[in-house]
């Protein structure tokens, strides 16, 4: 993951720079890492003890940055490449990371599935795949209600392990500022492992392409997947025969891997916002990529104020309810100079709504001449509740939204830049369907998510195979793989 010898972004946010304009053209005259505090901040926990919160935040302010500004810039360049149609972006990981489920094996398994997916996608699309984990910091969750009521008892909603605990007791649901420090520490350990996997040999292509996938075992449907896997293996063997192997070519064993999360808890993000000494720009150093959720992107709100001044690549979630003018205006606020790679628009609509609403949003962005990367999140518009009380997502609906996203972009002549998934390397039963079928009755078997249902390893890989085939067709038609 990027070279370790970039000594920038080590400064603390108190070392105020002189710069008045950010790299993206935003005026920094009235901006500081804490200027969001003058705006209305939605989805923040109500802490009981201000001193306790201050103590935790001070501790975080004194901790090292988790990522370097130079890494975020390198990611931004790769995202710009994807926006131009010359790369594909794969985001994946938990809806919410948890303290209880934190194990090296879990991190490794999700990482391995992401790498396997990226090889399959690279093969189909014929372009590099930029890998981003919803990992090492994806804790805080927006909730539709402040309180949850069960049998007449109301308690604060669960807001993620960095805020409170999911058990339904007053003690567990009390927002505890010490959890922010624990989340920082867990993020640090996770990132350390991800960096080691990326550079220490674990990412080797030969090793990653050892497929052992349930969905391939299905005699009929598995056939097509097995053939594609064989072709990928043959390509790797061919490269080896040509002398491109782990000894001669570092890119066969190492990879870039970046982190991303929803920058929801602004106190935490503020304290990890650091001035980069080489550019005098502010960077959110809690992750390489930060996104703004569907519920917190009010133009005058605190989150937009925060995002405006940091120079990381930024994502904005958009739904079928978004209107073109306001999306254009948000993009302009966050990226006045239209810097490529700075803004990723992540649509999350559901398949049918996407076909109806994405074209008008694409048209608005195109008409305004704005440079954005389009990514689909096929998870959040496809959540349903079963009769037995589980939140789930049918694999087929997730697949349909991804395919609709590709088709709409092809029709519009724009680039489908990537996919944003809630998934895990574990064999959970949270989303129904897929070839290795998970039924509604199976949900109770291994329903482990702390928030939304995730694709399991087999479902995530099956989706990658389907996307790969689709991208291969688009490539043949000239719809991806070169600037259009």
Nearest distance, CB of residue 473 and ligand PEP, angstroms = 28
Task: Choose the stretch contacting ligand PEP; rule: CB under 6 A; options: 45-53, 156-164, 293-301, 404-412.
Answer: 293-301
Alpha carbon 43 to its chain centroid, in Å, reads 19
Nearest distance, CB of residue 116 and ligand PEP, angstroms = 22
Q: Residue from 73, 348, 357, 409 that binds ligand PEP (CB under 6 A)?
A: 348
Residues in a beta bridge with 345:
316, 374
| CA–CA separation, 431 and 437 (whole Å) | 10
Give yes or no for a contact between 82 and 345, defined as CB atoms under 8 angstroms apart.
Answer: no
Distance between start and end Cα atoms, the chain: 30
Q: Nearer Cβ to ligand PEP, position 81 or 376?
A: 376
Q: How far, CA to CA in Å, does 415 sit from each of 78, 300, 408?
A: 15, 30, 10
Nearest distance, CB of residue 211 and ligand PEP, angstroms = 28
Q: Residue from 60, 66, 75, 95 that binds Co ion (CB under 5 A)?
A: 95
Q: How many H helices and E strands in the chain?
A: 14, 14
Nearest distance, CB of residue 187 and ligand PEP, angstroms = 16
Residue 315 near ligand PEP by CB under 6 A: no
Q: Residue from 71, 176, 430, 452 that binds Co ion (CB under 5 A)?
A: 452
Work out what residue 353 binds among Co ion, ligand PEP, none; the CB cut-off runs from 5 to 8 Å by kind.
Answer: none
Q: Nearer Cβ to ligand PEP, position 288 or 348?
A: 348
- By CB under 5 A, what part of segment 42-71 binds Co ion? none
- Of 92, 191, 140, nearest in space to 293 by CA: 140
| CA–CA separation, 101 and 190 (whole Å) | 12
Work out what residue 271 binds among ligand PEP, Co ion, none; the CB cut-off runs from 5 to 8 Å by kind.
Answer: none
Give yes or no for a contact between 301 and 38, defined as CB atoms under 8 angstroms apart.
Answer: no
Binding mask 370-399 for ligand PEP (x = CB under 6 A): ----------x-------------------
| CA–CA separation, 201 and 428 (whole Å) | 27
Work out what residue 142 binds among ligand PEP, Co ion, none; the CB cut-off runs from 5 to 8 Å by kind.
Answer: ligand PEP
Work out what residue 214 binds among ligand PEP, Co ion, none; the CB cut-off runs from 5 to 8 Å by kind.
Answer: none
Q: Residue from 214, 269, 294, 462 that binds ligand PEP (CB under 6 A)?
A: 294
Work out what residue 399 binds among ligand PEP, Co ion, none; the CB cut-off runs from 5 to 8 Å by kind.
Answer: none
Q: Residue from 317, 342, 357, 470 that binds ligand PEP (CB under 6 A)?
A: 317
Q: Nearer Cβ to Co ion, position 177 or 378?
A: 378
Give yes or no for a contact between 297 and 303, defined as CB atoms under 8 angstroms apart.
Answer: yes
Nearest distance, CB of residue 481 and Co ion, angstroms = 31
**How large is the C-alpha radius of gyration of the chain?**
22
Nearest distance, CB of residue 420 and ligand PEP, angstroms = 8
Q: Nearer Cβ to ligand PEP, position 173 or 454?
A: 454
Nearest distance, CB of residue 380 and Co ion, angstroms = 6
- By CB under 5 A, what part of segment 210-249 binds Co ion? none
- Of 212, 188, 72, 206, nearest in space to 130 by CA: 72
DSSP annotation of 338: -
Helix, strand and coil in the chain, % to nearest 5: 40, 15, 45
| CA–CA separation, 376 and 407 (whole Å) | 12
Q: Which residues of 327-340 are buried (b: 16+ CB within 10 A; e: fewer)?
A: bbebbeebbbebbb
Work out what residue 252 binds among ligand PEP, Co ion, none; the CB cut-off runs from 5 to 8 Å by kind.
Answer: none
Work out what residue 453 binds among Co ion, ligand PEP, none; the CB cut-off runs from 5 to 8 Å by kind.
Answer: none
| Residues in binding contact with ligand PEP, number by CB under 6 A | 9
Task: Choose the stretch contacting ligand PEP; rule: CB under 6 A; options: 23-31, 34-42, 287-295, 382-390.
Answer: 287-295
Residue 95 near ligand PEP by CB under 6 A: yes
Q: Nearer Cβ to ligand PEP, position 126 or 142?
A: 142
Binding mask 105-144 for ligand PEP (x = CB under 6 A): -------------------------------------x--
Q: Nearer Cβ to Co ion, position 451 or 471?
A: 451
Q: Which residues of 10-20 are buried (b: 16+ CB within 10 A; e: fewer)?
A: bbebeeeeeee
Work out what residue 336 binds among ligand PEP, Co ion, none; the CB cut-off runs from 5 to 8 Å by kind.
Answer: none
Residue 293 near ligand PEP by CB under 6 A: yes
Q: How far, CA to CA in Å, does 332 sit from each of 83, 181, 190, 306?
A: 17, 34, 34, 15
* Residue bearing tokens 């897929």: 434
DSSP annotation of 439: P
User: Cβ of 470: how many Cβ atoms within 10 Å?
Assistant: 21
| CA–CA separation, 147 and 157 (whole Å) | 5
| CA–CA separation, 440 and 431 (whole Å) | 9
User: Cβ of 207: how many Cβ atoms within 10 Å?
Assistant: 13
Nearest distance, CB of residue 454 and Co ion, angstroms = 9
Query: Which residues make up the interface to Co ion (CB under 5 A)?
Result: 95, 452
Using CB under 6 A, list all residues that contact ligand PEP.
Answer: 95, 142, 262, 293-295, 317, 348, 380
């Amino acid at each position: 993951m990027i070279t370790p010898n970039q000594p920038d972004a080590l400064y603390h946010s108190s070392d105020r720079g002189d710069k008045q304009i950010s790299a993206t053209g935003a005026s920094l005259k009235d901006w500081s890492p804490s200027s969001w505090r003058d705006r209305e901040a939605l989805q923040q926990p109500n802490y009981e003890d201000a001193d306790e919160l201050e103590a935790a935040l001070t501790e975080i302010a004194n901790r090292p940055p988790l990522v370097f500004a130079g890494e975020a810039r390198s990611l931004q360049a790769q995202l710009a490449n994807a926006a131009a149609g010359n790369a594909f972006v794969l985001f994946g990981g938990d809806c919410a990371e948890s303290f209880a489920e934190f194990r090296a094996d879990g991190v490794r398994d999700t990482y391995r599935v992401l790498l396997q997916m990226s090889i399959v996608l690279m093969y189909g699309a014929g372009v590099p795949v930029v890998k981003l984990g919803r990992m090492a910091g994806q804790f805080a969750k927006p909730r539709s209600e402040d309180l949850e009521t069960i049998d007449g008892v109301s308690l604060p909603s669960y807001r993620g392990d960095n805020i409170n605990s999911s058990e339904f007791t007053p003690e567990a649901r009390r927002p505890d500022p010490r959890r922010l420090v624990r989340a920082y520490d867990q993020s640090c350990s996770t990132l350390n492992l991800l960096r080691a996997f990326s550079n220490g040999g674990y990412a080797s292509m030969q090793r990653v392409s050892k497929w052992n996938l349930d969905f391939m075992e299905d005699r009929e449907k598995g056939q097509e997947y097995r053939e594609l896997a064989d072709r990928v293996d043959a390509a790797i063997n061919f490269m080896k025969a040509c002398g491109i192997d782990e000894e001669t070519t570092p890119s066969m064993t190492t990879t870039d891997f970046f982190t991303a999360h929803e920058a929801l808890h602004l106190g935490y993000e503020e304290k990890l916002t650091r001035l980069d000494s080489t550019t005098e720009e502010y960077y959110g150093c809690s992750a390489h990529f930060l996104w703004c959720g569907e519920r917190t992107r009010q133009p005058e709100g605190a989150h937009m104020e925060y995002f405006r001044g940091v120079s990381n690549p930024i994502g904005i979630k958009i739904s079928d309810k978004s209107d073109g003018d306001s999306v254009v205006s948000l993009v302009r606020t966050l990226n006045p100079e239209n810097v490529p790679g700075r803004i990723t628009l992540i649509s999350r609509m559901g398949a049918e709504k996407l076909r109806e609403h994405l074209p008008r949003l694409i048209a608005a962005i195109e008409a305004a001449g704005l440079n954005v990367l389009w990514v689909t999140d096929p998870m959040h518009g496809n959540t349903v509740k079963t009769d037995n009380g589980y939140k789930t997502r049918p694999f087929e609906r997730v697949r349909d939204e991804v395919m609709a996203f590709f088709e709409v972009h092809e029709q519009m002549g724009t680039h489908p830049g990537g996919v944003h998934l809630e998934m895990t390397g574990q064999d959970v039963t949270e989303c129904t369907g897929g070839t290795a079928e998970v039924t509604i009755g199976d949900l109770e078997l291994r329903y482990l998510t702390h928030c939304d249902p995730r694709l399991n390893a087999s479902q995530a890989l099956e989706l990658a195979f389907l996307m790969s085939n689709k991208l291969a067709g688009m490539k043949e038609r000239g719809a991806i793989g070169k600037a259009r």
